[in-house]
Each structure stands twice: as C-alpha cells, then as structure tokens.
C-alpha cells in the first residue's frame, strides 16, 4: 500500500488517502507527529536492532547486513550483559520516549536529534555514512511498524520529502549522499518503491487542492533543518498532472531552519550564564568557540569537538584563567553531562512562546539548581535576525530565478507562524498576499497526494 512520509528534521509523519482525503496516521500516543529523535543505551544497539528486524523479514538480506556490520555485532552480547538487557529489550527508543530517556540519562547513552540534518554533511567517512543509514533504518522500521499496526496492512510504496539542499555547502554531491542514505534505509525497512519530492513542492501540492483559479505561488517552507522556496504555477489547469517539471519555475534552499533559530537564541541569551562574553584574568575576551560548539547540536563535527576529552581538559584548564570561574563551571557541567540538547530545547520553547508573549523564563535547573533566564521578544528578534535575513534572501532568489512575481506567498513549516518572519518577508518582498498553511501537516498531505498520483 501507498504512504506519504515526511521524515522531517523536527518531526516525522505519515499520511494515507482515505475517502479521497488525506488521513495522517497516529505514530505515538494518539499523536500524528513523532519527534525526530533516537536514543540508544549504546550506539551498537542501533545495529543490533536493525539486524534482528531484518532476520525476521529476509534471511539473505540479514546475512549480508550482518556480514557488513560483523565487527560491531560481535561486541553486542557483552554490551547487552553489561546493561542488563533482556532478550525482549532493544535498549532503543524513538520519538518522545527517546527525549525522556535522554533527559533521565544524558550521560549514559547515545542521543541524536534531527538525524536528517547530518545526512548531507561534507567529509563523512564510509563508516559514518553506514551508521547514519543504521539510524535512519531503525527509525523508519519503528515508524513503519507502528503505522502498519494501526492500519492493518503492509506499506510498500512511499514518497519521502526532501529539502532542496541538505547542506549549505557540498552541492549536489551532498544531496545525492543524503538521498542515498534515506533510500537505503527505507528499503531496508521494507519499502519496495521509494521516491522523493521537494518538501516545499509537497506543501504547494496540498495548497493547490483548494485553488479555484490558476495562480503563481511562492511556497516558503521553514522546516526544522532547512528553509526551502519553490515557485510553482498551480491551480485547476495543473492539478492532477503526474509530470509537473514545466510548472516548477524555480527552487532555492539552504540548511538553515527552525533548529538554527533555537540554536541562535540559546547561544545569545543562555550561554552568557555559562561565561560567554566574560573575560580572562588578563582582560582579554573569552573565546566564543566552546559556547557555539555547545549549542550547535546539528553539526556533527562541532559536537564531536565539544564533547571530546581534549576539550574537557581545555575547559578545566581555562577555569584557572577566567575572571568568572563560576560561570565557566556551568559550561564544564554541560560538557561533562552532555546537556547541549537540553539547553537548545529551552531555546526552542522560548522561540515558540515568544510568538505570543513578551517574555519567556528559560528553566536551566538541569545545569544548576534554580538557574533560570528571562528572555524578551526583542532579544529573540536580535538573536535570529541574521537567520531571517538569509531566509528572505532565499525567497528573493526564487523570485529572481522565476523572472516573475508571485500572486501569493504560501508559508508552511514549524517556524512559519513566527510574526518576526512574516514581518521580515513583507519588508523584503513588499505587499504580496501571504497566508499560512497547516504548519506541520501541509508537507505530509502533499507527499501523500503525490504518492497516490504516481503509484496508482
């Protein structure tokens, strides 16, 4: 059977066609959106989980996979004994359960948020690519299984959403690397046919259903990991076509999204509590790099550097040379206890709250008892201004490449509801009519409609 699959940077969702309409499938606790997170008590357990699931479905495929991962799999029995896991326990969780496990045991396991953000990273070694395949496979296996349990039938064909560009650098090579990882993962998870569609185009296809006249539409999709713009001719004259290449006038995209807004807000407003902006005893300013590394949770290389033993020793040595050691001691705790994700989560909650209120109280008691920080909407605006300007540049590029003006701007994605974004776009693009779609469901709905169209 056919499903549209939004394997997003922030959330995952699946949709099916039912009675000529899109129905989103419940993926956890009667919710249709599952956070794009994975937690394993040990990273080898990700590979162990995939191997066991393959063994239940395809002996030959399982044998080939186990041969490729033989070195890691040999260590699994000892790891499981050390962790006290029973045969029925995988030691792996996804979605909200993964977040809960990470908050309860931040130092003891392997946690990844928004894994898709890493798939196009430049300079990945073959071993790293293989592990990202394993992460994606484990997540898609669980999501697919949950959907099939609810629907009562096997899912065989899917269209997966993808950003225009997975990375700001790397170009088409990064895009091919990322789509190859997702294709391998989806097929290992049991899909027979896998296709891809640009996420902003998927959102546009969903919007097109409601149009009664033809329009030139600039779709601006602010996802968790990327921002993408697609300039599309759509409406009754175009609807229902299975080949739409001539209708897509231009695309632009960059690896900057909602996660980057969370990171920017966390860095500028929360890191000063950990020593950002303070001085060394010599009077020289503290280097910014460790604070940026702590917050940059969507950059594999910076996170590796921040949590390395070399950096741990560097921060400990720096404690003796700073004018405010109590503040830097908090950063040491963040490094030792792997608390970066929790800090950025407070930034995310602040970004959401400040769309409707003037102030937000960030709770940082996981670093130090009773530690908190009040953040204002003005501080949010200052923190994310550069990111919003980059999004506006993408929109202007799409319009310039299309060589025509849009009739309407269609906004979608988790951060698209921000009044700051709308104001910045209006300032950059003029008084073009602007409307919001389903900020979380438009992409999934469009993927589902497209899947139905190309596979039927």
Residues 369 and 395 in one domain: no
Burial of 225 (0-12, 13-18, 19+ CB in 10 A): buried
Residues 81 and 158 in one domain: yes
Residues 389 and 379 in one domain: no
Confidence of residue 342 (pLDDT cuts 50, 70, 90): very high
Identify the CATH number of the domain in which residue 163 sits.
Answer: 3.30.420.40
Residue at 209 is within a domain: no
Number of separate domains in the chain: 3
- pLDDT of residue 242 exceeding 80: no
Give the pLDDT score at 456: 82
Per-residue DSSP letter, 418:
-
- pLDDT of residue 170 exceeding 70: no
Residue at 320 is within a domain: yes
Residues 165 and 34 in one domain: yes
**What's the number of CA atoms in the CB half-sphere (13 Å) around residue 439?**
11
- Rounded percentage of the chain residues whose pLDDT exceeds 90: 73
Q: Is the pTM of this model over 0.85?
A: no
Residue at 270 is within a domain: yes
Confidence of residue 168 (pLDDT cuts 50, 70, 90): low
Residues 288 and 148 in one domain: no
- The whole-chain average pLDDT of the chain stands at 92
Domain extent at residue 398: 214-256+385-436
Give the pLDDT score at 172: 87
- pLDDT of residue 273 exceeding 80: yes
Closest alpha carbon to 360 in 326, 369, 368, 345: 345
Give the pLDDT score at 205: 87
Confidence of residue 394 (pLDDT cuts 50, 70, 90): very high
Give the pLDDT score at 401: 96
Give the pLDDT score at 29: 87
Choosing from 360, 383, 406, the residue where a domain stops is 383
- pLDDT of residue 187 exceeding 70: yes
- pLDDT of residue 85 exceeding 70: yes
φ/ψ bin of 91: left (φ > 0), alpha (ψ from -120 to 50), beta (otherwise): left
Give the pLDDT score at 276: 96
Residues 104 and 140 in one domain: yes
Residues 88 and 20 in one domain: yes
CA separation for the pair 181, 165 (Å, rounded): 15
């Amino acid at each position: 059977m056919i499903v549209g699959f939004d394997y997003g940077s922030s959330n995952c969702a699946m949709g099916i066609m039912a009675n000529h309409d899109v129905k989103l499938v419940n993926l956890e606790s009667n919710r249709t959106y599952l956070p794009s997170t994975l937690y394993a008590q040990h990273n080898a357990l990700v590979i162990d989980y995939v191997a066991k699931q393959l063994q239940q479905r395809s002996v030959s495929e399982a044998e080939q996979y186990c041969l490729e991962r033989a070195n890691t799999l040999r260590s699994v029995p000892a790891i499981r004994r050390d962790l006290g896991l029973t045969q029925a326990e995988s030691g792996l969780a996804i979605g909200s359960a993964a977040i809960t496990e990470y908050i309860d045991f931040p130092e003891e396991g392997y946690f990844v948020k928004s894994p898709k953000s890493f798939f196009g990273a430049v300079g990945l070694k073959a071993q790293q690519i293989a592990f990202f395949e394993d992460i994606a496979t484990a997540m898609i296996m669980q999501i697919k299984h949950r959907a099939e349990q609810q629907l009562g039938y096997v899912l065989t064909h899917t269209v997966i959403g993808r950003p225009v560009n997975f990375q700001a650098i790397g170009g088409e090579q990064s895009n091919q690397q990322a789509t190859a990882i997702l294709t391998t993962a989806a097929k290992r998870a049991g899909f027979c046919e896998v296709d891809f569609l640009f996420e902003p185009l998927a959102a546009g296809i969903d919007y097109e259903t409601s149009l009664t006249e033809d329009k030139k539409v600039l779709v601006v999709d602010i996802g968790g990991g990327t921002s993408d713009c697609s300039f599309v001719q759509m409406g009754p004259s175009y609807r229902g076509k299975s080949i739409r290449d001539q209708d897509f006038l231009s695309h632009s995209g960059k690896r900057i999204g909602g996660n980057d807004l969370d990171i920017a807000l966390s860095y500028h407003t929360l890191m000063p509590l950990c020593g950002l902006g303070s001085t060394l005893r010599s009077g020289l300013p503290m280097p910014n790099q460790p604070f940026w590394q702590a917050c940059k949770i969507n950059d594999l290389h910076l996170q590796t550097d921040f949590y390395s033993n070399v950096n741990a020793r560097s921060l400990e040595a720096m404690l003796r040379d700073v004018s405010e050691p109590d503040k830097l001691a908090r950063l040491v705790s963040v490094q030792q206890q792997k608390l970066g994700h929790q800090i950025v989560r407070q930034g995310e909650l602040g970004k959401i709250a400040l769309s409707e209120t003037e102030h937000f109280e960030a709770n940082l008691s996981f670093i130090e008892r009773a530690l908190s920080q009040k953040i204002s909407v003005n501080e949010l605006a200052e923190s994310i201004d550069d990111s919003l300007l980059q999004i506006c540049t993408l929109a202007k590029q799409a319009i310039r490449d299309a060589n025509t003006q849009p009739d309407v701007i269609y906004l979608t994605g988790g951060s698209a509801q921000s009044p700051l974004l709308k104001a910045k776009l209006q300032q950059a693009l003029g008084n073009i009519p602007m409307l919001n779609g389903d900020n979380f469901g438009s992409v999934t709905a469009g993927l589902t409609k497209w899947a139905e169209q190309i596979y039927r």
